[in-house]
Amino acid sequence: MAQGMRFGLVCSRFNEFITSSLLQGAKDALFRLGVTEQDILEVMVPGALEIPQAVRALAQTGYCDAIVALGAVIRGDTAHFDVVVNQSASGLSAVESEYSVIVANAILTTDTIEQAIDRSGAKAGNKGYEAAMVAVEMVDLFRKIRAYGKLD
Ligand code: INI
């Protein structure tokens, strides 16, 4: 289904024990759907606040059909939790609308480390995997919509 699609994966190192699982989950999903390693551009950034900057830079290249953002913001870790959460989410939306590129958001925002563990492959699935699946579905959908347009 996803052969020939190209993806950017932007992953933050902050809380790396969580984000590395999200990144692996995203890659597992893409490989499962037929994406090859050569069609995945992997970029690491320090923290969730830097994710939108790297997503923007990738979008500017025009290389990717979709970009998956992977990070973990845990309330217990930071007094500026709300700043990191809000700025990373609004930064992603801004890039998405400015460049018309699909951006799937797998930046976890949790109150506790346990919740983050659950969402990165334990009890509550792997949000990286899920976001990559969503990205593929949206690329496929947009291709179909564009194809309808050509029929008019
Ligand atoms: N970055 C995260 O990705 N997760 C966090 O939980 C976090 N906390 O706790 O502060 C965090 N902070 C760093 C931030 O993303 C930036 O890297 C930093 O502020 C420099 O711009």
pLDDT in tens, 84-123: 999 999 999 999 999 989 999 999 999 999 999 999 998 8
Per-residue pLDDT at 139: 96
Torsion, Cα 90 75 12 101, to 10 degrees, reads -20
Instruction: Determine, yes or no, domain membership for 92.
Output: yes
The whole domain housing 11 covers 7-147
How many CB atoms within 10 Å of residue 76?
Answer: 10
The answer to whether residue 152 sits within a structural domain is no
CA distances in angstroms from 141 to 63, 65, 86, 112, 147, listed in the order given: 18, 12, 28, 35, 10
State the pLDDT at residue 4.
Answer: 86
Ligand 1 atom at minimum distance from 107 CA: 3
Indicate whether 151 pLDDT > 70: no
Looking at the domain assignment, is residue 109 inside a domain? yes
Ligand 1, residues 45, 78, 115: which to mutate, most atoms within 8 A of Cβ? 78
pTM (2 d.p.)? 0.95
Q: Give the count of domains, the chain.
A: 1
Q: CATH number, domain at 14?
A: 3.40.50.960
Cβ atoms of 18 and 120 closer than 8 Å: yes
Which residues are near ligand 1 (CB < 6 Å)?
12, 14-15, 46-50, 71-74, 77-78, 84
Q: Which pLDDT belongs to residue 86?
A: 95
Q: How far apart are CA 46 and CA 14, in angstroms?
A: 6
For residue 1, tell me if it sits in a domain: no
Which ligand 1 atom sits nearest the alpha carbon of residue 88?
15
Q: What is the CA radius of gyration of the chain?
A: 15
Is position 33 within any domain? yes
Ligand 1: which residue has its CA nearest to atom 10?
Answer: 78
The answer to whether position 137 is within a domain reads: yes
Pairing mode, if any, of strands 7-12 and 66-74? Answer: parallel
Give the contacts of 60 (CB within 8 A, at least 6 positions apart). Answer: 99
Q: Is residue 2 part of a domain?
A: no
pLDDT of residue 80: 87
